[in-house]
């Protein structure tokens, strides 16, 4: 049997070209055993899972503002750069292949971390029921989210699935045993099972069920004895499960289920009758000076995470060639210049020779004290509902959405609905990695700022060569 052997931090990956196996081996067993001897150790392990998200999901991470946005032709790049290879979808290029291999391995590294937590949960007998349910529910939810992004990139177009082909492994263990690649149906069935279990476990003890987000957004209090029961939007909480279920259902073409879960999120109320989550407005944009703003809209975040080591100046410096788009793109995208996503969320970079406005850089993450990285927002639930609901209901929702963004409302028709929605994904999610996935799901042949026709060859990433070559 022919194999490739790779190493990455916590685990080793073995893939065979003929049978498609993936083996993930644990790191230092003694250190892990000690960590999981106490309740505090389990919480440290769970917090560790969030802390290693930065490489793929940080502001400049591969799946947030970087590589997946270059795949969607959001940003410009120098002609000889690996970013330009991603824009051109030159997946056979060695540098592009290596970059995407990093994404692939980072993702399975995080999955291995979640699986280690879940494995040791089976072996312990001392955790309080609340801690057990929340830790396990969050780990299962994270495992599902991480696997879903893998299949969205390396899996098939959702409307062109080969039912017998084995696309990727849904890894549920950390051991020396091999894990076979799954068919699309097998993979998605395991993913849905993880989310169902997470929903059940978190549904027992989720603090957000009985508290508002603001009541829990503090460093402790009288209600709970652990910090992890506070700042619940920083954790994969009960409502994040609903949001991810809506996202997955839409991907799979189940609009009825997608609509149901998106509505459940929107209609969830606090004890006082106020909405659990609300759409952000211009008043939520934090502006502390003319040169500092942040547009992560925490009021509408179902799930984000806290990245302690993030520094905007390092990631989005004026001297950086990354994360810029021509000002003409943004001018053309926004018909209504009153939209706060136009007025408050972009920094203009002048031409170095003429001084005239040339490119713009996102302000989405710009604030020296902002380490909040959104992953699932109420805005996405609104766009899902607008896409899936009957047209009259969709128009009511779209007007609410327009009002929150400070833009004029124009009635949707069946002929205009999808074109408008596609543009809203650009306006809303630039810098959050969602445009490429939306375009792949819909089979968009011409991306808004793309330079080529898009089809399966551009949308379905090949397994990285270092995973599949015979050596």
Structure tokens at 403: 């009002």
pLDDT in tens, the chain (471 residues): 223 233 333 443 333 333 444 444 444 554 667 899 999 999 999 999 999 998 899 888 899 989 999 999 999 999 999 999 999 999 999 999 999 999 999 999 999 999 999 999 999 999 999 999 999 999 999 999 999 999 999 999 999 999 999 999 999 998 777 778 999 999 999 999 999 999 999 999 999 999 999 999 999 999 999 999 999 999 999 999 999 999 999 999 999 999 999 999 999 999 999 999 999 999 888 655 444 455 668 899 999 988 776 555 555 554 444 688 999 999 999 999 999 999 988 888 777 778 787 888 777 766 544 577 899 999 999 999 999 999 999 999 999 999 999 999 999 999 999 999 999 999 999 999 999 999 999 999 999 999 899 999 999 999 998 776 432
Q: What is the pLDDT of residues 272-296, one digit of tens each?
A: 999 999 999 998 886 554 444 556 6
Q: Reduce the secondary structure of the chain to three states and give it as a string.
A: CCEEEEEECCEEEEEECCCCEEEECCCCHHHHHHHCCCHHHHHHHHHHHHHCCHHHHCCCCCCCCCHHHHHCCCCCCCCCCHHHHHHCCCCCCHHHHHHHHHHHHHHHHHHHHHHHHHHHHHHCCCCCHHHHHHHHHHHHHHHHHHHHHHHHHHCCCCCCCCCCCEEECCCCCCCCCEEECEEHHHHHHHHHHHHHHHHHHHHHHCHHHCCCHHHHCCCCCCCCCCHHHCCHHHCCCHHHHHHHHHHHHHHCCCHHHHHHHHHHHHHCECCCCCECCCCCCHHHCEEEECCEEECCCHHHEEEEEECCCCCHHHHCCCCCCCCEEEHHHHHHHCCCCCCHHHHCCEEEEECCCCCCEEEEEECCCCCCCCCEEEEEEHHHHHHHHHHHCCHHHHHHHHHHHHHHHCCCCCCCCCCCHHHHHHHHHHHHHCCCCCHHHHHHHHCCCCCCCCCCCCCHHHHCCCCCHHHHCCC
Q: Cα–chain-centroid distance for residue 164?
A: 28
Predicted TM-score (pTM) of this structure: 0.91
Rounded CA Rg of the chain: 22
Task: Please report the pLDDT score of residue 280 as a whole number.
Answer: 93
Two tokens, residue 420: 């408008």
The first and second tokens of residue 257, run together, are 């289920």
Could you tell me the CA-to-CA distances from 107 to 104, 131, 177, 371, 443 in Å, in that order? 5, 26, 19, 21, 25
Domain ranges of the chain: 3-205+456-468, 282-415
Which residue matches tokens 């949308």? 459
Q: How far is it, in rounded angstroms, from Cα 424 to Cα 386?
A: 11
* CB-based contacts of 352, cutoff 8 Å, min separation 6: none
- Give me the residues paired with residue 12 across strands: 7
Q: Output the CA angle 111-114-117, nearest 5 degrees.
A: 150
* 435 neighbors 87 (Cβ within 8 angstroms): no
By the 8 A CB rule, do 441 and 253 touch? no
**CA atoms within 13 Å, Cβ hemisphere of 427:** 27
Looking at residue 349, what is its pLDDT?
77
Region 3-205+456-468: CATH code: 1.25.40.890
What pLDDT shows up at residue 469? 47
pLDDT of res. 467: 75
């Amino acid at each position: 049997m022919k194999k490739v052997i790779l190493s990455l931090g916590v685990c080793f990956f073995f893939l065979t070209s003929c049978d498609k196996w993936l083996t993930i081996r644990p790191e230092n067993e003694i250190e892990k055993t000690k960590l999981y001897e106490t309740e505090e150790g389990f919480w440290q392990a769970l917090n560790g899972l969030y802390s290693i998200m930065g490489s793929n999901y940080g502001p400049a991470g591969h799946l947030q503002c970087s590589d997946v946005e270059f795949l969607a032709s959001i940003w410009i790049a120098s002609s000889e750069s690996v970013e330009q290879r991603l824009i051109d979808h030159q997946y056979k290029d060695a540098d592009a292949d290596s970059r995407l291999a990093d994404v692939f391995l980072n993702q399975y590294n995080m999955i291995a971390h979640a699986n280690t937590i879940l494995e040791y949960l089976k072996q312990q007998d001392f955790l309080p029921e609340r801690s057990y349910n929340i830790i396990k529910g969050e780990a299962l939810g994270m495992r599902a989210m991480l696997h879903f992004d893998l299949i969205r990139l390396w899996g098939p177009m959702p409307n062109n699935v080969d039912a017998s082909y084995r696309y990727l492994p849904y890894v549920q263990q950390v051991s020396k045993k091999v894990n076979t690649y799954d068919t699309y149906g097998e993979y998605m069935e395991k993913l849905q099972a993880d989310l169902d279990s997470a929903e059940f476990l978190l549904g027992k003890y989720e603090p957000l069920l009985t508290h508002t987000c603001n009541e829990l957004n503090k460093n402790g209090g009288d209600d709970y004895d652990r910090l992890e029961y506070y700042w619940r939007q920083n954790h994969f909480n009960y409502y994040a499960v609903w949001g991810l279920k809506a996202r997955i259902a839409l991907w799979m073409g189940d609009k009825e289920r997608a609509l149901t879960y998106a509505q459940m999120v929107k209609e969830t109320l606090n004890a006082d009758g106020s909405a659990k989550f609300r759409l952000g407005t211009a008043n939520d944009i934090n502006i502390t000076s003319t040169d500092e703003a942040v547009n992560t809209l925490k009021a509408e975040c179902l799930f984000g995470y806290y990245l302690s080591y993030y520094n905007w100046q390092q990631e989005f410096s004026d001297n950086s060639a990354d994360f810029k788009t021509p000002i003409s793109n943004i001018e053309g995208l926004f018909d209504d210049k009153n939209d706060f996503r136009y007025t408050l969320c972009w920094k203009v970079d002048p031409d170095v020779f003429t001084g005239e406005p040339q490119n713009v850089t996102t302000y989405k993450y710009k604030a020296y004290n902002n380490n909040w990285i959104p992953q699932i927002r109420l805005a996405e639930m609104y766009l899902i509902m607008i896409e899936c609901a009957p047209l009259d209901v969709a128009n009511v929702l779209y007007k609410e959405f327009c009002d929150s963004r400070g833009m004029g409302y124009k009635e949707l028709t069946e002929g205009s609905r999808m074109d408008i929605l596609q543009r809203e994904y650009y306006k809303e999610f630039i810098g959050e990695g969602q445009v490429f996935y939306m375009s792949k799901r819909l089979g968009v042949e011409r991306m808004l700022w793309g330079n080529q026709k898009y089809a399966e060859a551009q949308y379905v990433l090949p397994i990285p060569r270092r995973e599949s070559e015979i050596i």
